[in-house]
Each structure stands twice: as structure tokens, then as C-alpha cells.
Amino acid sequence: MTGARMDPKDVGKALRKMVLATPPEQLAFSPDEEYPTIYGVLTDWPIGEDTASILAMKDGTASLYTTSTFGIIGGEGHEKVRAAAQRCVRVGHKFLDRSVKTSEFPYPGEDQVHFFLLSYEGVRLCEVDETAIKQGSDAIGELFDAAQDVVTQLRLVSQERMAKEARPEAPADGSRSADLRP
């Protein structure tokens, strides 16, 4: 089967859209004692000309999507990433009353941050001034910090994996050799 290849810059956008449009039932998520109202948080904020989107889900799924060609997925296999994602969702619950139900998923404008709260009853949005978060004058900064911790944990795991892949395995006898095959 052949099909049109997706532009690498559109991959993150497509993943973000899929996350925001998929109902919780399709993910096998339902309310429980620890996560009674929301099962995920998607945080968007502009970084220069691009936008970064941090996904955190109640099962520990965590990803970073961007409007450029960079992204990190698959962090849930690491305990620190899983814990950061789950904490982010718990923190997101605190801001449910500040959010409005939405079926539109725009990227934030300059100096804005969007928090999409993935609730069992639909997606909810908190639009926040980035300056207020940076100055500490908006309590929702706690959610921004939790999302930043998800990114930090994803980055650390990614760096560790890349460092392991870059290190050649030493032979058991202690000798060193390089494999120069293409």
C-alpha cells in the first residue's frame, strides 16, 4: 500500500490533534478514585517561532510534540517519566474550575500558554498569560512547572539513551575495536 508521506514538520501536529480528538473510552480510561475528572493534560507554549506540546496521561504516558521536526515519545517505560506525567495530571485537576469546555484546539498566541485538560466529559481549555506564570503571579504556574518536569524527565531519559547508543560496547576481554562497516 502506498500513500503520501507526511512532512516531518506535520508529525507532531498530527499526534497532538489525535490526542485531543480521541475520546477516553478509546484509550480504556474511565474515572477512578485517583483521577476522578481528568485523565490527561496537554500543555502548549510558544518557543520562538515553534510551539511545544507536552502530553501527560494518568497511565504515565508522556510525550513532547513540536511544530518543528523534534519530538520525544515513549517515555512511559521509565519510572521517573511516568511519575512526572501522573503528577502533572493530578495537578491539572486543581484547575478544572478555571477551564472552559472546547472543541477547538488552537495553538497559543505569543506570550500565551494553553493547558488542555482532557476530561471524561470532553476537552477543557485554560488560556494563560506566560508572563504571569514566569512572575509567579498566577497559581496555574504549578501546572506549568509540573509539565516542565515531564519535559525534564523525558529529556534526561532521551539523553541517557543517546549516550548508551553512542558508547561502543567493550569486548569481554577488555580489548577495544571499532566497527567501521556502513
Q: In this predicted model, what pLDDT tens digit does every residue of 41-68 receive, in sequence order?
A: 999 999 989 999 999 999 999 999 888 8
Q: Residue 94: which domain range?
A: 8-159
Nearest to 56 by CA among 77, 35, 87: 87
Does 3 map to a domain? no
Q: Is residue 91 part of a domain?
A: yes
> What is the mean predicted confidence (pLDDT) over 148-167?
83
CA distance 8 to 13: 10
Q: Is 137 inside any structural domain?
A: yes
Q: What percent of the chain has pLDDT over 90?
A: 68
pLDDT for the residue numbered 80? 93
pLDDT single digits (tens) 6-46: 777 788 889 999 999 999 999 999 999 999 999 999 999 99
Q: Where are the alpha helices (DSSP H) in 94-173?
A: 130-135, 141-166
User: Does residue 164 lie in a domain region?
Assistant: no
Strands 62-66 and 100-101: unpaired
Q: Would 2 be classed as within a structural domain?
A: no
Q: Which strand ranges, in their side-by-side order, compose the sheet holding 50-57?
A: 62-66, 50-57, 38-47, 112-119, 122-129, 100-101
> According to the model, what pLDDT value does residue 143 have?
98
170 part of a folded domain: no
Average pLDDT value over all residues in the chain? 87
Tally of domains in the chain:
1
- β-pairing, 100-101 with 112-119? unpaired
pLDDT for the residue numbered 77: 77
Is 174 a member of any domain?
Answer: no
> pTM higher than 0.75 for the full model?
yes
The reply to whether 181 falls in a domain is: no
Write out pLDDT tens, residues 126-138.
Answer: 999 999 999 999 9
> Which amino acid, residue 131?
T
